[in-house]
Structures are given as structure tokens and as C-alpha cells.
Amino acid sequence: MYTKVKGTIDFLPEQSKKLTSLENYLKDVASLYGYQEIRVPILSYSELIHRSSGESSDIVTKETFDFKDRGDRMVTLRPEGTAPVVRAVLENKLYTSNLPLKLFYSGPMFRYERPQKGRYREFSQFGVEVVGSNSPYMDAEVITLATTIFKSLRIKNFRVRLNTLGDDDSRNNYKVALKEYFKDKLDLLCNDCKKRYETNTLRILDCKIDKDNEVLLNAPKISDYLSDKSKEEFEVVKSYLDLLHIPYIVDLKLVRGLDYYTNTIFEVELVDENDNSISQAICAGGRYNNLTKMLGGPELGSVGFAFGIERLSEIIDERVDYSHKIFAQFIPIGINAKMHLIELMQEIREHGFSSEMNYESLNLKGHFKSSDQNNARFLIICGDDELKDKKIRIKDKVQDTDDLIDESKLLEYMLHRIRCNRDCETCDGGCDEN
């Protein structure tokens, strides 16, 4: 009997179906935000991965699948998407077009880790990379996109863990302070951290073994070493998130496991509503202003994130249907209404909302079935009575509402419903303002 390689997974038809629709959904959302897909090889020259992640990073020292190909070249199965995507941007000189580039990718990654729930040796990530923007507003927009995905998947108990590593000066000053602080405390650190002291002091803060060690808890804080510019930029990110009511905590101890991060970094984690405990991070990312230069290209401020698809898939409520392919289904009752709704549907389509109508002569039940198959969010119904009064009936399947509105208000109404969907504070998602 042959078995699968340790740490890999077979996705049987049911699970595959779920993963595929989740991936398609993520691609749709990213497209909506103006990102375009990029597909890059899984196989990479080792140097790219080692250089970008950092020779002393956990990923490179313990987790990469490195081997020699038959031509004696050292190659690595990609452990993450950012370095290969940035390599492709540079190699294909994509940065000579309009900046910023907004790219998304999805596919398998490989890390030699101890397999357990949510941690595999072959797993999938979905990620976005914005290349060629130095604006902290973009950091916040990228975080917002990540949290929008959580919200639209009806995952309520998520929270952003946020920090800044500052610009190069801030980080260098901070590293000096950390070196000084840990100098006479090396005995109190784990063996890995003793090595990190020499190779990458910052990463001591990311120690997974010694999380509650007093020595780590009392270490100097990055906030005391930030330049004025880095402080201001971090304030922009926070006010943007405040404005949109995105839940976050600032964690001055957060550092990420890869060497290329600068400035804003974040993780999105789930918080147990009962005991406030935190489960594994589902999404992580941040700004990496030095990577393009490190890989031999021009300096291009960049920011991105990656979701673990399997981890995300494990927390999605099976009952939630997130694959809203068709946004609005137009349901005519009678021939007069049909012609009228065709006009209205065209108008809505021209506004960029995907819409459908089943042209067969169906009864209401038949139309409902058809909209279920299409996964339509809004059902827009019109018969002779409504037509006479220039009204339409609209059902929102997400918020479970049913209203009779002026047909001239249709677009406005739908937009309002979408907005309310974002946990709008004043109406709690159920407001009847239309």
C-alpha cells in the first residue's frame, strides 16, 4: 500500500469542491479591488528564496524543501508567494507600466514543518501584492481587503494584530537597543534565540518556544525607536482602520518570520468569544520596501498579505453560502413587466453589477429556484401592479429583507444594503432607510 507523503493532504471531492469555491471567491473579491492574477512557478532557484526570506529565518534554516536538480542546480519548492511574485515583476520589468501593480496569486506552498491541524508540509496560500506604492494608506487598504474577506465570509470573531517595524533607521536603532538589552541575558534565552542574537536579533521577539519569558516581555519596544516619519505613517494606518471600524490591537512584540518586512506588519487572527484565546493566524502580511532592491531591481515600496487557504476553509461555516456569483436576479411576472425589467437590468449591468433574468415563462416558484441556482443576492420582482406604480419588490437574501421601493431608487437601495452589510454601527445591518 502506498501512502501520501507526510504532511500532505488528499482533498476528496467534497473538500475539493469547498476549496475550489473558496479560491474562486477570493479571486473574485481581489478582482473587484482591482487586482490581477499572476501565476509564477512553484520551483525556484534556492538563492531567491534563501536571500529574500533571510538565511537565518526559520523558513530557510528549518522549513524549505531544497534539492539539486539533475543539472546540479540548487532549487527550492516555494515556501511563500511574495519572493517569486516580486522576482517575476522584476524579471518581466512589469514596474515600467503604471504603478502600483496590484497582483494576486493562489497555489501550493511547501514547508517542512511538524504536521498538525492547520499546519501541513504542502498547503495553499492566496495572497495579494501591491508593488510600487509607498503610501501608508495602501497598507491600510490591503488590511481592509483582508478583513473584508473575513466579513463577507461571515467570520465575526477576527481581529487584526498590528505593528510597525519602522523605516530602516528606526529598525537599525531598535536592533542596536535589543542587542544591548539581551547582551547579558543570553543564558535566559532558548537555544534558537541564542543563535538569533547573532544572526537576527529582532527575531528573538518572535520566539515560539518562549512566548511568556519575562526577558522577552521586558525587552525594549519598537515604539521608542521610531522616526517621526514612521510614527506618522503608522498613525495613518490606524486612523484608516478606525474610520472603517476594523477591529485591531497594536502588538509591539509582533515581528514577522521573514527578513524582508519593513514598516507596517499584521496578522489576522481568530479570537475565541468565550475565553478570548487566540487560534492560529489565518492571514499575515505587511510592507516590504527593501525586497525589490535586494533582488536587484529598483526600489519599489510594496505591501501584501497571504491567507492560508486550508486554515480559512476550516473555519468557514458550512452553511454560509459565500459564492454569490450573480448579484441580482430580475424576476418578471407577465410580459409587460418582463420588457420593463430588461431595461432596468441593463441599467444595473451597466453600473457593473452582475445580473440575470430567466427568460422562460416560469411561475414565481420557478424563478426563485433559478435565482437559488445562480446564488443571487438580490431578487428584483415586478408584476403589473408594481409596474403601474413604478415600484419594484426587492428581497435581499443576505439580510433577509423584503421591501417595496420606487424603481428609481433601485441602485441606491442595493448600495445601501451592501454598506449596511459591513456592520454599519448606526443601523446594525438591519436599517430600513431607503
- What residues line the site for ligand ATP (CB under 6 A)? 80, 111, 113, 118-120, 123, 125, 257, 280-284, 306, 308, 310-311
Cell digits of residue 245: 471600524
Shortest spacing between CB 256 and ligand ATP, in angstroms: 6
- Shortest-Cβ-distance residue relative to ligand ATP: 308
When the beta carbons of 278 and 427 are compared against ligand ATP, the nearer one is: 278
Nearest CA to 197 out of 215, 213, 183 is that of 183
Shortest spacing between CB 376 and ligand ATP, in angstroms: 31
Shortest spacing between CB 254 and ligand ATP, in angstroms: 10
When the beta carbons of 7 and 220 are compared against ligand ATP, the nearer one is: 7
**The amino acid at 72:** D
Shortest spacing between CB 434 and ligand ATP, in angstroms: 39
Contacts with 88 (C-beta within 8 Å, 6 or more apart), sequence order: 38, 40, 94
When the beta carbons of 268 and 341 are compared against ligand ATP, the nearer one is: 268
Task: Answer whether 26's CB lies under 8 Å from 149's CB.
Answer: yes
When the beta carbons of 8 and 421 are compared against ligand ATP, the nearer one is: 8
Shortest spacing between CB 105 and ligand ATP, in angstroms: 13
Shortest spacing between CB 285 and ligand ATP, in angstroms: 7
When the beta carbons of 113 and 192 are compared against ligand ATP, the nearer one is: 113
Distance (Å, whole) CA 301 – CA 237: 15
When the beta carbons of 19 and 236 are compared against ligand ATP, the nearer one is: 19
When the beta carbons of 80 and 233 are compared against ligand ATP, the nearer one is: 80
CA distances in angstroms from 140 to 20, 137, 213, listed in the order given: 28, 5, 32
Helix (H, G, I), strand (E, B) or coil at 244: coil
Shortest spacing between CB 240 and ligand ATP, in angstroms: 22
When the beta carbons of 81 and 132 are compared against ligand ATP, the nearer one is: 81
When the beta carbons of 121 and 417 are compared against ligand ATP, the nearer one is: 121
CA distances in angstroms from 353 to 81, 146, 178, 325, 356, listed in the order given: 31, 22, 53, 10, 10
Task: Answer whether 324's CB lies under 8 Å from 377's CB.
Answer: yes
Shortest spacing between CB 244 and ligand ATP, in angstroms: 22
When the beta carbons of 204 and 414 are compared against ligand ATP, the nearer one is: 204
Virtual torsion, Cα 217, 220, 223, 226, nearest 10 deg: -150
For residue 339, give the DSSP letter.
H
Task: Answer whether 241's CB lies under 8 Å from 264's CB.
Answer: no
Cell digits of residue 428: 446594525
Sheet of 262-271: strand order equals 36-37, 101-110, 122-131, 302-308, 278-287, 262-271, 158-164, 248-250
Shortest spacing between CB 115 and ligand ATP, in angstroms: 8
Give DSSP secondary structure letters for 177-222: HHHHHHGGGGGGS-HHHHHHHHH-GGGGGG-SS-TT-HHHHTS--G
Shortest spacing between CB 126 and ligand ATP, in angstroms: 9
For helices 228-243 and 136-152, angle between their N-to-C axes, nearest 10 degrees? 30
In 27-135, the DSSP E strands lie at: 36-37, 43-45, 65-68, 74-77, 101-110, 122-131
